Structure 1
Amino acid sequence: MNAYTDEMMQRVHRDLLDSYDEELEMEIEDRTLVGLDGMPVEEDSPSQKEARRQYFRELFRLQAELVKLQDWVVATGHKVVILFEGRDAAGKGGVIKRITQRLNPRVCRVAALPAPNDRERTQWYFQRYVSHLPAAGEIVLFDRSWYNRAGVERVMGFCTDDQYEEFFRTVPEFERMLVRSGIQLIKYWFSISDQEQHLRFLGRIHDPLKQWKLSPMDLESRRRWEEYTKAKEVMLDRTHIPEAPWWVVQAVDKKKARLNCIHHLLQQMPYQEVPHPVIQLPERERHDDYIRQPVPNEIVVPEVY
């Protein structure tokens, strides 16, 4: 290896480490210098720092396995739907972010549907979800799903009693139909305590980068905690079927919940590492008549940093 090649490889490795460092910083959600309302936060103890390092090591290992799973899904034409349900601030978005972080968005995509519009309210209830189902070699993660009817719509009075009962009559058959068609359906419920949701809502209120996550509906759901609990219990009881069982993730500890969910997800498919040919970077063609034109200064972004 000549000096130029060695220097280039060192640069590649440094860039790789920088990218990981950047992602590590993104993961650190606690304020290290200033806490809520400007109060100083104590530095992590050695045991806390070691726990954080262990978390990242295991997260990276599991994400490497997710890449292998993705390759297997593509190679075999497997079709996967994963539903993420749970109370507001239960950590659904956090685990979805860590699952998709290193995957190809053309293979693994997220469906996070807004409230139905006037036209969609007159459709068959499942119709707007069907268009997001996977083709062969695709994974679709639903950040909330058709189970909105069993949860928020029921508690907030957005559906009638007849619509609610029709949902429970239909959803087992709908999911069995998906499974018969070759779609693997995996359903997760993220479970947190009353106190933990209270603390996470306070965190969002005091964090200007997270206040957008709080909606009037979220605040109302906090008031109706017990009604949501009853609705969740009915939902799990009436829609836990052998073809598509529910899996409950204990999510009071966000980091453990992410690791446990990803670990469990990897166990649900008999994936194997797919061999890939060695990639050779081709030499760039050079032509004597090519002259690179200078970029006009007025269109160059100022180098503020």
Structure 2
Amino acid sequence: MAKKSAGKSSVKRLDKRLYKAELERLQTELVELQQWVASAGARVLVIFEGRDAAGKGGAIKRVMEYLNPRHARVVALSKPSKKERGQWYFQRYIERLPTTGEIVLMDRSWYNRAGVERVMGYCSEEQYQEFLRQAPIVENLLIEDGIILIKYWFSVSDEEQQARFASRVGDPMRRWKLSPTDLESILRWEDYSRAKDAMFAATDTAGSPWWTIESEDKRSARLNVISHLLSCIPHGRLELEEVSIPDRPGADDYERPPAEQFKYVPDIAADLRAEKSKKAS
């Protein structure tokens, strides 16, 4: 399959106004879902996997945007420490599972072993085969214990991945997303494809299936994954208690200290306003 040399994507994107309106509706329902999870004492674990630059991070950001961080968190582990390398492979992930009333989103997970570790040779053949055997067992135990486990695979074409990588090169706010491993994935596209196929064959089970998100268009992918996530968790809408904001009491004899006693950050916003006003005149 031919690769694009330019960094500009040719994907036809969902209309921005339609996207924003539906995203707002779905995020409102996500907040209601979280309230139900907290009230019911449920435990929700959502795994996000997929190709590099497939849009996992953006989808996770939209899921988390309005959730209460006391009851929802993202787990994105770096490479294991020396101590962690001596542990059972699943151990550091088990320690970060959701507790009662909590939603945990894993930005990559134990499936690193079936993906990057397999392709890049970071694990042995024995460790890899052991993982494929143990993963369904571990997930079945989590589900038996009451955890709601949902697994997503974000799929993107090689052309679109190439375009997204290229767009990051000149973007100082996203340049950090281009790691040597990411760039190596371009050269190992077929290896990653074979690793993904083998992973699905071993771990796409009836009790813990993989759900594929086509993510050529990030906007569509975000809406699709949030909508599906909401449909996977049977939840009711809680009746919220009425909130009455009290009237502020009248001032007593308190006198605020002089402003000169405090240190304030420089007001660069005022400088920008003044500069704009000057240009306008």
| 1:226 partner SS | helix
Offset of residue 298 of structure 1: 6.0
CA distance in 1 between counterparts of 2:46 and 2:252 reads 54
Listed as ranges, the matches of 1:1-305 within 5 Å are 51-286=15-250, 288-296=252-260, 299-305=263-269
Aligned length: 261
- 1:299 aligns to what SS in structure 2? coil
| Letter of the structure 1 residue corresponding to residue 224 of structure 2 | N
CA distance in structure 2 between the partners assigned to 1:154 and 1:288 by the alignment: 69
Amino acid aligned to 1:52: K
Secondary structure in 2 aligned to 1:296?
Answer: helix
Aligned residue for 1:13? none
Give 1:289 deviation, angstroms. Answer: 3.4
TM-score, length-normalised on structure 1? 0.82
CA distance in 1, matches of 2:117, 2:70: 31
Deviates more, 1:211-220 or 1:144-153: 211-220
TM-aligned CA deviation for residue 287 of structure 1: 5.8
1:244 counterpart letter in structure 2: S
Unpaired runs of 5+ in structure 1?
1-35, 38-46
RMSD over aligned CA atoms reads 1.9
CA distance in structure 2 between the partners assigned to 1:288 and 1:196 by the alignment: 64
- The whole-number CA distance in structure 1 between the counterparts of 2:114 and 2:26 is 32
Q: How many Å apart are 1:92 and its aligned residue?
A: 0.2
CA distance in 1, matches of 2:171, 2:140: 42
State the one-letter code of the partner of 2:89. Y
- Distance in 1 of aligned mates of 2:198 and 2:259: 64
2:171 maps to a residue whose letter is: D
SS in 2 for 1:252: coil
Could you report, residue by residue, the CA deviation over 1:27-84 in whole angstroms, capped at 9, with x for unpaired residues? Answer: xxxxxxxxx99xxxxxxxxx98x91111100110111111111111111111100000
Task: Find the aligned partners of 1:125 and 1:206 in 2 and give their Cα distance.
Answer: 37
Equivalent in the alignment of 1:27: none
SS of 2:165 mapped into structure 1: helix
CA shift, 1:294, in A, is: 2.1
- Between the aligned partners of 1:255 and 1:304, the Cα distance in structure 2 is 34
The equivalent of 1:43 in structure 2 is none
| TM-score, structure 2 as length reference | 0.89
Separation in 2 of the partners of 1:288 and 1:241? 67
What SS does the corresponding residue of 2:268 show, helix, strand or coil? coil
Which of 1 and 2 has higher RCO (CA within 8 Å, sep 6+)? 2
Aligned to 2:276: none
Deviation at 1:190, TM superposition (A): 0.2
Classify the secondary structure of the residue corresponding to 1:110: strand
Unaligned runs of 5+ in 2: 1-5, 270-281
Conserved 8 A contact 2:133-2:202: no
Per the alignment, in what secondary structure is the counterpart of residue 188 of structure 1? strand
Whole-Å Cα distance in 2 between the matches of residues 220 and 116 of structure 1? Answer: 20
Letter in 1 for 2:177: K
Alpha-carbon deviations, 1:230-249, whole Å to 9, x = none? 00000011001122110001
Identity %: 53
